[in-house]
């Protein structure tokens, strides 16, 4: 019989808040060094004659990349923790080493991709390359630090009932892949649809004829990644954080509610399953209303 | 006897995975630019992300109870929750940040809510966002995918004598095998069960059956050798 104490609720809330931060910074990191699907346009830009000063990173795509960073970080943190180091040192050291791995992968990715575009006369701008490495590392560090802390809480600190049977490195891999797929499907839309084609009309999907012709001259001269990340930090990043934070919050909440209501372990799990289905039905209704709101407010497509 | 049930669990889990992956609406790279309907990630990775969330929940439940239905259903519901939030987050960005109405490019009218798509679609695109039919298809797909992953995990823990972490990473690997085979079959983008590409499903089911069988052979070999 699992008793709901203030400790278990507090740790569940901490996990949700850390997830919010992790999600925000994961998306912003993929904006400060162009990664994942919108980077396909940066890649295409040189090929259609749009020489640019973007950091063409694209390490594999976000889910496997974050799987690597978080698994490395959680693995090293776990190793240091088993050797007696305190968590407050072990976790940042693990995240720091993952940041070094991240910078290595970013460098090889950028240099490899851009040197392959030599015949399209896209130069490797050394100032872009050197200067962006640190913002990429710092944004990634915060995301990886948050995920590693979540793994630590779930593996070691969380009271009985919500504690995970998986060790820290495996949890790092799982949450890394999850946060990468969420960041890729939520926040990258803001980068790819809105900011990357800022000079196209607002309020339409980007047509196939626009592909590759990204915005290069912008508010403060020639556009670079820092212009992108400052814009996406206003909408895309926080929404990504909200999604990942909500997922972890509602997962823990429905489990805790099930523990409270049910009398036997089977009943507790059954209740949490039922509550989960109820939450999904509410989300389906919210999506229906959101789409209806957009249809009514924006109206039919105008123009050709 | 244990061996037969292990094989059934892994193969059934693989089939469920394949079916689930085909139902998830994936727009891939074009969707991130508002050129295609669905989630703006690759097929394999979004399905793995959803199933891993489900696997995490299922592994915690498995320590509490050994009932197969409860473990598989918790994996399914965990995966469903992740997918529902992700698609809703994507739609928030499409509607509020980019000013786009979610519509499908493959059909003119929503098969479930009967709302028309064609007047709202941007020309020279293949739809954008995640409309209601794709949303519901994605939720069902995540349910099936998560249950497949949880079933594989359940089989490995109870019938192959794997420890929980080993079973976790093996379940991830077997899930990825089936997800990648299905992704090859889909060929990039799919909008859900209303998409004509959905009719290619039997091909992937046969491939995933064989793939899962091979994985099950390896799992039983490792189990026979006493675990890693």
> Each residue of A100-135: pLDDT tens digit?
999 999 999 999 999 999 999 999 999 999 999 999
Instruction: Point out which residues pair with B190 in neighbouring strands.
Output: B26
pLDDT band at residue A61 under the 50/70/90 scheme:
confident
Mean pLDDT of chain A: 93
- Mean pLDDT over B203-210 rounds to 94
B94 Cβ under 8 Å from any chain A Cβ: yes
- The neighbour count for residue B151, using CB atoms within 10 Å, is 27
Most confident of the ranges A158-172, B72-86, B192-206: B72-86
Q: For position B227, what pLDDT does the model report?
A: 65
B183 Cβ under 8 Å from any chain A Cβ: no
Q: How do residues A189-238 score in pLDDT, each as one tens digit?
A: 999 999 999 989 898 899 999 999 999 998 888 998 999 999 999 999 99
Q: How far apart are CA A42 and CA A44, in angstroms?
A: 5
Query: Which residues of chain B are within 8 Å of residue A41 when distances are taken between CB atoms?
Result: 33
pLDDT band at residue A23 under the 50/70/90 scheme:
very high
Q: Are the beta carbons of B93 and A211 separated by less than 8 Å?
A: no
Q: How far is CA A77 from CA A74, A111, A149, A170, B98, in A?
A: 5, 30, 9, 12, 40
- The shortest C-alpha distance from B216 to chain A (Å) reads 21
Share of chain A above pLDDT 90, in %: 83
Query: Which residues of chain B are within 8 Å of residue A235 when distances are taken between CB atoms?
Result: 93, 96-97
Q: For position A12, what pLDDT does the model report?
A: 92
Query: Does residue A303 carry a pLDDT above 90?
Result: no
- The shortest C-alpha distance from A227 to chain B (Å) reads 17
- Mean pLDDT over B93-102 rounds to 94
Enumerate residues 69 to 88 of chain B having a beta carbon within 8 A of any beta carbon in chain A. Answer: 70, 73-74, 77-78, 80-82, 84-88
Q: At what angle do helices B164-186 and B132-159 cross, to 10 degrees?
A: 140
Contact predicate A301/B122, CB 8 Å: yes
Instruction: Tell me the ipTM for this assembly.
Output: 0.95
* Chain B residue with Cα closest to A288: B132
Residue reference for tokens 């709202």: B120
Q: How far apart are CA B10 and CA B151, in angstroms?
A: 7
Share of chain B above pLDDT 90, in %: 88
Q: For position A1, what pLDDT does the model report?
A: 60
Q: How far apart are CA A43 and CA A35, in angstroms?
A: 10
- Mean pLDDT over A75-99 rounds to 96
Q: How far apart are CA B66 and CA A220, in angstroms?
A: 61
pLDDT band at residue A162 under the 50/70/90 scheme:
confident
B148 Cβ under 8 Å from any chain A Cβ: no
Q: How many residues are present in chain B? A: 228
Total domains present in chain B: 1
Beta pairing, strands A217-218 & A221-222: antiparallel
Between the two ends of chain B, the Cα-to-Cα distance in Å is: 22
The values of phi and psi at residue A277, to 5°, are -60, -40
A65 Cβ under 8 Å from any chain B Cβ: no
Domain interval for residue B160: 2-225
């Amino acid at each position: 019989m699992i008793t709901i104490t203030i400790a278990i609720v507090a740790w569940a809330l901490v996990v949700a808040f850390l997830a919010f931060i992790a999600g925000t910074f994961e998306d912003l990191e993929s904006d400060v060094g162009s990664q994942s699907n919108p980077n396909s346009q940066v890649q295409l830009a040189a090929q259609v004659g749009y020489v640019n000063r973007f950091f063409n990173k694209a390490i594999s795509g976000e889910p496997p990349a974050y799987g690597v960073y978080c698994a490395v970080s959680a693995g090293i943190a776990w190793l240091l923790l088993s050797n007696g180091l305190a968590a407050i040192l072990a976790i940042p050291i693990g995240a720091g080493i993952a940041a070094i791995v991240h910078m290595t992968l970013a460098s090889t990715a950028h240099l490899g991709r851009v040197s392959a575009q030599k015949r399209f006369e896209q130069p490797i701008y050394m100032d872009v390359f050197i200067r962006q490495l640190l913002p990429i590392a710092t944004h990634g560090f915060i995301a990886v630090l948050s995920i590693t802390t979540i793994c630590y809480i779930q593996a070691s600190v969380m009271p009985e009932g919500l504690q995970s049977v998986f060790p820290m490195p495996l949890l790092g891999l799982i949450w890394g892949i999850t946060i990468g797929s969420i960041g890729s499907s939520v926040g990258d839309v803001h980068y790819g649809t809105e900011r990357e084609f800022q000079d196209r009309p607002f309020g339409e999907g980007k047509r196939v004829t626009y592909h590759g012709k990204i915005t290069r001259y912008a508010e403060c001269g020639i556009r670079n990644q820092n212009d992108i990340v400052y814009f996406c930090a206003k909408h895309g990043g926080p929404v990504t954080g909200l999604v990942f934070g909500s997922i972890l919050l509602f997962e823990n909440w429905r489990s805790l509610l099930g523990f409270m209501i049910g009398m036997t372990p089977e009943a507790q799990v059954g209740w949490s399953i039922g509550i989960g289905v109820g939450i999904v039905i509410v989300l389906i209704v919210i999506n229906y209303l959101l789409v209806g709101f957009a249809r009514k407010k924006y109206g039919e497509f105008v123009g050709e | 006897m244990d061996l037969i049930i292990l094989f059934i669990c892994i193969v059934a889990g693989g089939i469920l995975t394949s079916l689930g992956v085909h139902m998830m609406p994936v727009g891939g790279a074009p969707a991130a630019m508002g050129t295609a309907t669905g989630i703006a990630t690759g097929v394999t990775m979004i399905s793995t992300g959803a199933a891993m969330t489900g696997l995490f929940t299922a592994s915690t439940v498995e320590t509490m109870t050994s009932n197969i239905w409860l473990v598989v259903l918790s994996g399914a519901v965990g995966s469903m929750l992740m997918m529902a939030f992700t698609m809703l987050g994507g739609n928030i960005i499409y509607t509020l940040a980019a000013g786009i109405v979610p519509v499908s490019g493959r059909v003119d009218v929503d098969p479930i809510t009967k709302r028309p798509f064609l007047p709202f679609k941007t020309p020279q695109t293949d739809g954008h966002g995640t409309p209601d039919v794709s949303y519901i298809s994605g939720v069902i797909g995540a349910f099936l995918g998560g249950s497949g992953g949880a079933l594989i995990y359940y089989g490995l823990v109870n019938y192959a004598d794997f420890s929980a972490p080993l079973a976790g990473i093996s379940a991830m690997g077997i899930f990825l095998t089936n997800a990648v085979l299905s992704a090859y079959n889909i060929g990039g983008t799919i909008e859900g069960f209303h998409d004509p590409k959905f009719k290619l499903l039997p091909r992937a089911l046969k491939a995933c059956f064989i793939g899962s069988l091979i994985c099950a052979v390896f799992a039983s070999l490792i189990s026979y050798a006493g675990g890693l």
